[in-house]
């Protein structure tokens, strides 16, 4: 049994990870400031004697004795991370600094939830870990992209300077139950709009692409990454390489919800990446044959069922 700290544990991904690690028999400390997460995501875990909930902002130092840290605290949806960009930078950088300090003191292993956004609007396709990216350092997405890039730098500096045991994964667009219906990401927006019979909002002409990973596949990759041998630091991409345009995604959601919603076209936000698809050969090699086996249709069906139950 390990004592595991999950920052951002009351968020979409964090809540699934808390559940998984409790099921594996570990003690879980779930830390969150509820900026985009919600207690309702983890209510069902409160009865578990191995679960502990802590309200804390990772911009401030935190002290506890832990064996492993999963650092997920950071708003992930563009509307939220852009609503207070200075805070987003602080969370990414000071949050990483504080958690790395804790890992150093306690000799804990620490995993960073990095992102495909470190590749920016990529001009290499699909994206491999050795691609350095094409990121605008002064645009509206920069607080998130550059914040996550700086966090990766800090992870490697703590590793080289203080021998902290680090694990970095670069997560590509992930979806599933417990996404916040108001958080503005494309999968939740389209499903909620389709279920409510509202217009489906396509930004730009809808030809931009993303590759969507179902949450269970990501959680499995995270746990396997934490358990890799010490020489495996990452970064390692985790995502589903099946690539879709936003028009294809909208069509699929309409079909699966049997919705009468119509598509409407809205301006494309600035610096919106045109294409994104992970090369996952490194993940397959290092994570014991891990493979994202949930395809878009079956993942969407489960996600639609969830949104039907809450809206
Ligand atoms: P989310 O917004 O649901 O979860 C983030 C959680 O962090 C929330 O519970 C929020 O309240 C908490 N938080 C934010 N700032 C905090 C702070 N300063 N102190 C303490 N808690 C704070 O988003 P998510 O999709 O679950 O993303 C989790 C992590 O995974 C994020 O770091 C995100 O960058 C990363 N990620 C997610 C995706 C994805 O597609 N879902 C893709 C790439 C990376
Ligand atoms: N998008 C869209 N309609 C929406 C929300 C998003 O067309 O209602 C587009 C967005 O412009 C982007 C893609 O969907 O091209 C994915 O957006 P999301 O915010 O989910 O993730 P990210 O851009 O961070 O990959």
Q: What is the DSSP string of the chain?
A: --EEEEETTTSHHHHHHHHHHHHTT-EEEEEE--SS--GGGTGGGTT-TTEEEEE--TTS------SEEEE--S--SHHHHHHSHHHHHHHHHHHHHHHHHHHHHHT-EEEEEEEGGGGBS-SSSSB-TT---B--TTSTTHHHHHHHHHHHHHHHHHHHHH---EEEEEE--EE-TT--TTS--HHHHHHHHHHHTPPEEEETTS--EEE-EEHHHHHHHHHHHHTS-TT----EEES---EEEHHHHHHHHHHHHT----EEEEPPPTT--S---B--HHHHHHTTT------HHHHHHHHHHHHHHH-
- Decide if 271 is inside a domain: no
pLDDT above 90 covers a percentage of the chain that reads 99
Band of pLDDT at residue 2, cut at 50, 70 and 90: very high
Q: Is 208 part of a structural domain of the chain? A: no
**Where residue 123 sits, what CATH number does that domain have?**
3.40.50.720
Once rounded to an integer, what is the mean pLDDT over residues 261-281?
97
Which of 74, 110, 113, 276 has most ligand 1 atoms within 8 Å of its beta carbon, as the pocket-test mutant?
74
Number of domains, the chain: 1
CA of 240 to the centre of ligand 2 (A): 17
* 208 C-alpha to ligand 2 centroid (Å): 9
The 10s digit of each residue's pLDDT in 29-44 is 999 999 999 999 999 9
Give residue 207 CA to ligand 2 midpoint distance, Å.
Answer: 11
Does residue 84 lie within any of the structural domains?
yes
In a domain, 311, yes or no: no
User: Is residue 81 annotated as a catalytic residue, yes or no?
Assistant: no
Which tens digits make up the pLDDT trace of 157-210?
999 999 999 999 999 999 999 999 999 999 999 999 999 999 999 999 999 999
In a domain, 161, yes or no: yes
pLDDT at 208: 98
Q: pLDDT of 54-103, one tens digit each?
A: 999 999 999 999 999 999 999 999 999 999 999 999 999 999 999 999 99
Domain that holds residue 15: 3-175+214-239+277-293
Is the beta carbon of 238 within 6 A of some atom in ligand 2? no
User: 250 lies in a domain?
Assistant: no
Question: Is residue 136 in some structural domain?
Answer: yes
Give the pTM.
0.98
Question: Residue with the nearest Cα to atom 11 of ligand 2?
Answer: 203
Is 235 domain-assigned? yes
């Amino acid at each position: 049994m390990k004592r595991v700290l999950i920052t951002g544990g009351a968020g979409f991904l964090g809540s699934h990870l808390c559940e998984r690690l409790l099921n594996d028999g570990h003690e879980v400390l779930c830390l969150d400031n509820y900026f985009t997460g919600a207690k309702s995501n983890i209510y069902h875990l409160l009865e578990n004697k191995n679960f502990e909930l802590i309200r804390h902002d990772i911009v401030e130092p935190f002290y506890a004795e832990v064996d492993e840290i999963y650092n997920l605290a950071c708003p992930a949806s563009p509307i939220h991370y852009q609503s207070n960009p200075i805070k987003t930078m602080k969370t990414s950088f000071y949050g990483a600094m504080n958690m790395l300090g804790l890992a150093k003191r306690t000799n804990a292993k620490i995993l960073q939830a990095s992102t495909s956004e470190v590749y920016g609007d990529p001009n290499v396709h699909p994206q491999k870990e050795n691609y350095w990216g094409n990121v605008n350092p002064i645009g509206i997405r920069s607080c998130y992209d550059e914040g996550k890039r700086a966090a990766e730098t800090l992870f490697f500096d703590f590793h080289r300077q203080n021998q902290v045991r680090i694990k970095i994964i670069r997560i590509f667009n992930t979806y599933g139950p417990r996404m916040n219906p108001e958080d503005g990401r494309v999968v939740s927006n389209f499903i909620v709009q389709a279920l409510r019979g509202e217009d489906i909002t396509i930004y730009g002409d809808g030809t931009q692409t993303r590759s969507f990973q179902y949450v269970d596949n990501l959680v499995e990759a995270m746990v396997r990454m934490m358990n890799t041998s010490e020489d495996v630091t990452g970064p390692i991409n985790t995502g589903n390489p099946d690539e879709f345009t936003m028009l294809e995604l909208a069509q699929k959601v309409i079909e699966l919800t049997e919705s009468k919603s119509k598509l409407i076209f809205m301006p494309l936000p600035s610096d919106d990446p045109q294409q994104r698809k992970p090369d996952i050969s490194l993940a397959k090699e290092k994570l014991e044959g891990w493979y994202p086996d949930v395809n878009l249709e079956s993942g969407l069906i489960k996600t639609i069922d969830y949104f039907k139950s809450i809206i």
